[in-house]
Amino acid sequence: MFVLPTFGLGVIASPTFTSVFDDTLTFPTIQVFDNESEFINDTGADDYTIVHAKDTDKLYVWETDRWYLYNNDSTV
């Protein structure tokens, strides 16, 4: 897993050992996983955690109790 830089806004969650997400990172976090299966069933992410899955080339944003999926299919 590769972790991109985060914004230093302070830690907003206590550590949890049942999650693949690194709670030592500050909010918001942006993480990159090789496979969607590495995180998709995890419910331990902080709100607005952004994830990119290399195998699907999609962005995922965690909010409240689910992942919101954004297709990476547009060009600028």
pLDDT number for residue 25: 64
**How many Å apart are CA 52 and CA 29, to the nearest integer?**
11
pLDDT number for residue 47: 85
- Give the residue, 5 or 45, on which the prediction is more confident: 45
Please enumerate, as own/partner, the contacts of 50-59 that have beta carbons within 8 Å and a separation of 24 or more: none
- Is residue 15 predicted with pLDDT exceeding 80? no
| Structural domains of the chain sorted by starting position, each given as residue range(s) with its CATH number in brackets | 2-14+24-71 (3.40.1620)
55 alpha-carbon distance from chain centroid = 15
- Give the residue, 2 or 66, on which the prediction is more confident: 66
pLDDT digits (tens, 9 = 90+) for 22-74: 667 666 778 899 999 999 998 888 888 899 999 998 999 999 899 999 887 76
